[in-house]
Amino acid sequence: MPTIQEIEREAASRLGPFYALTASGGSSDAATVPGLRSNAPAGGYEGLWLLRRLAVKADDRLRTVDRVDFPAGNLLVDFPYLDAPHAQEPLELHHLHPDWQLRADVLAGLRRCWLLDVLDVPAPPANGVYAYANGNGWTNGGRAFVTEVPRDGNGNGWLVVPPPPLEALGAPPPGPGVLAGVNAAPLLSGPPAVVDLTAGAFWLTAVRQVLGVAVNGEAVPPAARWARGGQDGWSAYGNRGRVYLTIPAGALAGLQAGDALQVRAYRDAWGLVNGADDPAGPADDDDDVGVPVDYAAAFAHVEAWRRHRDRLEASAAEGRFATQAEAALEATRVASMYADWLFRPQTERGDRIASPWGPDAGGGGTSPSGLGGRGRLASSVVNQNDPYA
């Protein structure tokens, strides 16, 4: 569970000149670092951002190194401090602006880092009031409209496909209106129950994230290719930026109050902060995230090349730091260790889904593991070699 500042330090060491130093004191115009003392000509520190993460006053957090007084070991800054650096205070020298560039790259990189999660979905209400679909009955073209069950106070977001035909109901029951444009394929075991997964997990926004479903710990088989052909099993579909899970009626027969559906899915690391869900993502230096340092730093490096190419081309000139191609290869290597095993959907789902990193970049076609190909990161594919080919 590394912190944001740990990831930033690792990423900064890959992006350009970076130094982690310790001050012995300082003044309003400089930070004193004994290890810099030298009578020999030296350079390379000028123009770097000097970051004081533990500065008492927010206005003292960042300065630019104007010049270095090597005999005294002083880093002279471009603008006076309100409070001088103190003894044993950690300092960092950065190539990119720590708050405006480096932090943005790290946060964007977290959206490329994937991990597994299990969502517990509360059981649906025992008695739902269904809405009247339209004057022609509950069905339209062989597909059943989905209507919303009134919230039971838990906000669990359950929806139910009402049972046809309308004549059996006697009269249109009261209730909320049909969710326009939302429908679910009918299953062999009867009208399925449908749950809005995004209502319980803000990070579930794409159908391909859902890998498996269990009821009371027992896996529910998936429907073949999103229930095409009337196969009985769970399926998922998206509508207006939300993900809906369709469960066959028979699978819910033994579900009691207090029980839960378990949905196995993958998520990006952005919204997992300090061990809890946070839609706003990490914001502070000490916020921790649920992916390893090198995984997050590798993708922060990729994002830095995408966002700040001018600065990274300067640091990579003459082979001083990694080029874009080298950064891509490193991200591919790290992702193959930490994420490749996530994307074997055919072991839990009957259909093939694409990698979250996009289409095949190498032109080699799709891979047996459903990862989108054996391409390279240049086009956002993170599989260098398909381990399941």
Query: pLDDT digits over 332-355, tens only?
Result: 888 878 776 565 544 444 444 443
Check residue 2 and give its pLDDT.
92
pTM score, two decimals?
0.72
Check whether 173 has a pLDDT greater than 80.
Answer: no
Q: Model confidence at 37, in pLDDT bands (50, 70, 90)?
A: very high
Check residue 48 and give its pLDDT.
96
Quick one: tokens of 323?
A: 């080029």
Check residue 258 and give its pLDDT.
62
What is the pLDDT averaged over residues 155-181? 40
Q: Rounded mean pLDDT of the chain?
A: 73
- Which residues, in sequence order, are CB contacts of 310 under 8 Å at separation 6+? none
Check residue 158 and give its pLDDT.
57
Check whether 44 has a pLDDT greater than 60.
Answer: yes
Q: How far is C-alpha 225 from the geometric centre of its chain's CA atoms?
A: 26
Quick one: tokens of 118?
A: 């299990």
Q: Model confidence at 189, in pLDDT bands (50, 70, 90)?
A: very low
Check residue 363 and give its pLDDT.
43
Quick one: tokens of 54?
A: 């533990």
Check residue 93 and give its pLDDT.
97
Query: What is the spatial distance between Cα 178 and Cα 108, in angstroms, rounded to a whole number?
Result: 37
Report percent pLDDT > 70 for the chain: 63
Q: Contact, 326 vs 304, CB < 8 A? A: no
| Low-confidence winner among 69-78, 156-165, 357-366, 369-378 (lowest mean pLDDT) | 369-378
List, for residues 256-310, the tens digit of each pLDDT value. 656 677 888 888 899 999 988 999 999 999 999 988 999 999 999 999 999 999 9
The listed range with the strongest mean pLDDT (179-193, 202-216, 369-383) is 202-216
**Residue appearing with tokens 């090349």:** 305
Check residue 124 and give its pLDDT.
54
Check residue 341 and give its pLDDT.
57
The counts of H helices and E strands in the chain are 6, 20
Check whether 227 has a pLDDT greater than 90.
Answer: no
- CB burial readout 210-247, b (16+ within 10 A) else e: bbbbbbeeeebbbbbebbeeebbbbbbbbbeebbbbbb
Q: Model confidence at 94, in pLDDT bands (50, 70, 90)?
A: very high
Check residue 254 and give its pLDDT.
59
List, for residues 48-65, the tens digit of each pLDDT value. 999 999 999 999 999 999
- CB burial readout 111-125, b (16+ within 10 A) else e: ebbbbebebebbbbb
What is the pLDDT averaged over residues 139-167? 40
| Side chain identity, residue 104 | A
- Which residues, in sequence order, are CB contacts of 1 under 8 Å at separation 6+? 275, 288, 289, 290
Check residue 162 and give its pLDDT.
41
Q: Point out which residues pair with 190 in neighbouring strands.
A: 187
Check whether 187 has a pLDDT greater than 50.
Answer: no
| Low-confidence winner among 33-42, 131-140, 183-192 (lowest mean pLDDT) | 131-140
Check residue 123 and give its pLDDT.
62
Helix/strand/coil for 307: helix
Quick one: tokens of 234?
A: 């769970």
Name the nearest CA neighbour of 259 among 130, 85, 123, 363: 123
Instruction: Give burial (CB, 10 Å; 0-12/13-18/19+) of 197.
Output: buried
Instruction: Give burial (CB, 10 Å; 0-12/13-18/19+) of 281.
Output: middle
Quick one: tokens of 49?
A: 């951002």
Q: Who has greater pLDDT, 169 or 320? A: 320
